[in-house]
């Protein structure tokens, strides 16, 4: 695959799970990476993660649901790197609950992070990424981390499914809009299946305790049975798909969806 030398990438939710794996993969392949997440820059976790990256990495605190944070991040990148070639909208939250019992505030929280975050970030960086894209084959690249649950329904997670379905169609709308306005920005979505990250494991633990189970082991075994490949994915397998869509190897791909789910939605 083509590397990312001279490319600047910003990844949201980059201190954990899939976001961290994506930041690591882009960095390993040559990108200058801006990790962003909710943690305060002074949090020792941030220093520990940046130490593993070494050069070509820095951190900005960015709550994706907050427009001011996005505008500050853009001003920061414009002042320092002066370009943005890759934006990975990865930050996300789950939100379990049956439709007749989930609190409206919980529903709104899921939409504000998983949907508003993508809109606000794309809006904030359109101009800079359009300018940066002129110098790159196929243009700059936005990758939106949706989910296989943006393609099919699932009980107990309607707020999440709705948000990930919105992410999928925002992707396609942005791709068509940028191309038709001759703005060199490609936009694609990635749809992971069950991946063993803190997000999944905490969601499963919650469901287990709601159902009186001692831990999430039985649920994990059951989930594995529902996946044709018989296992959960790992974050690096999702990061590989993200990296492909970020790279110039995918220069003619925009508005598409790459499903990385061990065959779950193939049936
Ligand atoms: N793990 C899975 O099985 C799975 C499957 C499909 C899709 N996804 C999607 O992948 C993405 C990453 O999930 P993960 O499993 O790595 O989760 P994770 O919980 O390990 O990491 C999510 C990161 O996002 C950050 N975050 C949460 N709210 C934020 C906000 N408002 N602003 C900025 N950062 C915020 C968290 O601090 C955390 O570092 C999410 O969009 C998720 O919906 C995950």
pLDDT band at residue 116 under the 50/70/90 scheme: very high
Q: Is there an atom of ligand 1 within 6 Å of 195 CB?
A: yes
Q: What are phi and psi of 9, to 5 degrees?
A: -125, 140
16 lines ligand 1 (CB under 6 A): yes
Average pLDDT, the chain: 96
- Cβ–Cβ under 8 Å, residues 72 and 93: no
Whether pLDDT at 198 is above 90: no
14 closest CA partner among 42, 72, 53, 54: 53
Note the pLDDT of residue 164: 98
Measured distance CA(254)–CA(42) in Å, rounded: 38
- Nearest atom in ligand 1 to 15's CA: 39
Ligand 1 geometric centre to CA of 213 (Å):
25
Residue with CA closest to ligand 1 atom 32? 63
- Judged against a pLDDT cut of 80, whether residue 171 lies above it is answered with yes
pLDDT recorded at residue 96: 85
36-40, 58-62, 108-112, 208-212: which range is least confident on average? 208-212
pLDDT at 206: 83
- Residue 18 CB–ligand 1 contact under 6 Å: yes
Report the percentage of the chain scoring pLDDT > 70.
Answer: 100
Residue 99 has pLDDT above 90, yes or no: yes
- 203: confidence class by pLDDT, cuts 50, 70, 90: confident
Whether the predicted pLDDT of 2 surpasses 80? no
* 222-233 mean pLDDT: 95
Whether residue 192 has pLDDT greater than 80: yes
pLDDT band at 65 (very low <50, low <70, confident <90, very high): very high
Domain range summary for the chain, segments of one domain joined by +:
8-193+236-266
- The residues, ordered by sequence, that sit 6+ positions from 79 with a Cβ below 8 Å of its Cβ are none
Name the 3-class secondary structure at 154.
coil
Homologous superfamily of 8-193+236-266: NAD(P)-binding Rossmann-like Domain (3.40.50.720)
Q: Which of left, alpha, beta for 103 (phi over 0: left; psi -120 to 50: alpha)?
A: beta
In the predicted model, what is the mean pLDDT of residues 135-140?
97
42, with CB counted inside 10 A (0-12, 13-18, 19+), is: exposed
Per-residue pLDDT averaged across 175-201, rounded? 95
Q: What is the mean pLDDT of residues 32-61?
A: 98
The predicted pLDDT at position 202 comes to: 84
Q: 15: Cβ below 6 Å to ligand 1?
A: yes
pLDDT of residue 4: 98
pLDDT over 90 at 150, yes or no: yes
The average pLDDT across 233-238 equals 98
The minimum-distance atom of ligand 1 relative to the CA of 164 is 43
Catalytic residues: 160
Look at residue 138 and tell me whether its pLDDT is greater than 80: yes
Please determine, for residue 173, whether its predicted confidence score (pLDDT) is greater than 80. yes
Q: What is the pLDDT of residue 144?
A: 99
Give the ligand 1 atom nearest the CA of 91.
Answer: 24
- Mean pLDDT lowest among 35-44, 133-142, 216-225: 216-225
Whether pLDDT at 97 is above 80: yes
């Amino acid at each position: 695959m083509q590397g990312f030398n001279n490319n600047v990438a910003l990844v949201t939710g980059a201190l954990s799970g899939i976001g961290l794996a994506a930041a690591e993969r882009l960095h390993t392949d040559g990108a200058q990476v801006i990790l962003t997440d909710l943690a305060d820059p002074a949090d020792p976790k941030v220093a520990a993660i940046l130490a593993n990256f070494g050069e070509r990495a820095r951190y900005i605190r960015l709550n994706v649901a907050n427009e001011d944070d996005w505008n500050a991040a853009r001003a920061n990148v414009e002042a320092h790197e002066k370009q943005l070639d890759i934006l990975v909208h990865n930050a996300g939250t789950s939100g379990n609950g049956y439709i007749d019992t989930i609190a409206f505030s919980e529903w709104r929280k899921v939409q504000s992070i998983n949907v508003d975050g993508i809109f606000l970030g794309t809006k904030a960086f359109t101009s800079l990424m359009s300018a940066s894209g002129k110098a790159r084959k196929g243009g700059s690249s936005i990758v939106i981390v949706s989910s296989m649950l943006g393609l099919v329904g699932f009980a107990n997670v309607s707020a999440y499914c709705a948000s990930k379905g919105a992410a999928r169609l925002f992707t396609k709308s942005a791709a068509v809009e940028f191309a038709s306005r001759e703005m060199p920005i490609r936009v694609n979505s990635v749809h992971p299946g069950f991946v063993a990250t803190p997000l999944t494991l905490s969601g499963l633990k919650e469901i287990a305790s709601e159902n009186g189970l001692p831990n999430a082991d039985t649920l994990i075994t059951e989930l594995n049975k529902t996946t044709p490949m018989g296992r959960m994915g790992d974050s690096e397998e999702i990061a590989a798909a993200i990296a492909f869509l970020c790279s110039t190897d995918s220069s003619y791909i925009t508005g598409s969806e790459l499903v990385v789910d061990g065959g779950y939605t193939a049936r």
